[in-house]
Amino acid sequence: MKKGSSYLQKPRIYPKTPKITNMDILDLVNYYANSEAYNGGRLVEACKVYENMIKEDATICLTLSGALTPTGLGGFINQLIKKGLIDFIISTGANLYHDLHFALDLPIYQGDFRADDTDLLKNGIVRIYDIFLPKETLLKTDEFVQKVVKGFLPDGTVSTACLHNYLGKQLLIKGKKPDYSIIATATKYDVPIFTPSPGDSSIGMNLALLKMSNNDVVIDTDLDVLESTAIVFNSKKTGAVELGGGAPKNFYMQTQPMLSQLINIDRGGHDYFIQITADAPHWGGLSGATPSEAISWKKIKSNKLKNNVVVYCDVTIAAPLLFSFILLKKYSRRLKRLYRKRAAFLDKLKYAYIKE
């Protein structure tokens, strides 16, 4: 290999003895940074990308797939919201439904994935892998949703952000432990929460049930598309921390093609992208695909590839490390309070579209 090759500009790798005594997350990330190899290295890159998003004051979206809130991950997310390090959220309905349990102080227990599910059924327990939920927790959560939504009387159709903000206000008033809830915390700090498939969860099921008794709260998912796009349109820089893939991931990513492909306002794509996933692209299941593939859709800026990273790891391992690193660095920003700006942002987007 020629001396001074452009491929050999990074530091050499040496075996490094970790600081075992009193090691914290910052020490651990620095240890990974010694080699930046494999997914330990990608985690270091994710920490740097998150730092760049904060320093550049990008509008940061958090996306949540599957059912991650039952693991207790909301504690990290709430701290990031309070410090202005998450500006809006796109989530599956399952995450939001299970988040309600914590605010209502309804129990979720550590379980075992090897349990006999037939026996669990007999004992009134439902299982999410190695997490156990008493059926009573679900029924009382359903009762809360039905009761408070009966008092939700919006003027016309609403976005899911509006619905979740209303639920958050009710949790702040009636919840026993609202500080445990992402929905309540997001409402308190004006962080909008969107759900791409509002009917695909127990919250959606409860809303559907109420229609049978003429309680007609109508969710307009078109408004979700427009409001999320308007947020991106009105932001100088944008980026996301995506936990898993699925509809929440693509719902965020599609805001850029919505602008460039349909509205004829070409922003070139998002500036930053972090994804933590255990999926692989070659099976067709890595929703929204890799950052490099997303460039062809103008979902990510082509000259910003170094500001994008995929960490192939279990979310429950990598996300706490990433979030702990950011919180230990004591970052904080002025709250963007995007929920209260939705209407004004959408008006600006409509004006830009008509002008085009």
CATH number for position 130: 3.40.910.10
In a domain, 13, yes or no: no
Dig out the tokens for 106 from the structure. 């309804």
How many CB atoms neighbour CB 215 within 10 A? 15
| 24 dihedral zone (left: phi>0; alpha: psi -120 to 50; beta) | beta
Catalytic residues: 299
Q: What are the φ and ψ backbone dihedral angles of 43, each rounded to 5 degrees?
A: -65, -40
Nearest to 83 by CA among 327, 282, 262: 327
Q: Which domain holds residue 191?
A: 53-355
pLDDT level of residue 15 (50, 70, 90 thresholds): confident
In a domain, 307, yes or no: yes
pLDDT in tens, 188-241: 999 999 999 999 999 999 999 999 988 888 899 999 999 999 999 999 999 999
Q: How far apart are alpha carbons 131 and 153 in whole angstroms?
A: 36
In a domain, 185, yes or no: yes
In a domain, 32, yes or no: no
In a domain, 276, yes or no: yes
| Cβ atoms 327, 76 nearer than 8 A | yes
Nearest to 132 by CA among 115, 148, 157, 153: 115
pLDDT in tens, 121-177: 999 999 999 999 999 999 999 999 999 999 998 888 999 999 999 999 999 999 999
pLDDT in tens, 67-91: 999 999 999 999 999 999 999 999 9
| Cβ atoms 83, 332 nearer than 8 A | yes
Could you give the number of structural domains in the chain? Answer: 1
In a domain, 189, yes or no: yes
Dig out the tokens for 200 from the structure. 């695909």
Q: What is the three-class DSSP state of 83?
A: coil
238-243 β-sheet, strand order: 193-194, 88-91, 59-64, 238-243, 272-277, 308-312
In a domain, 240, yes or no: yes
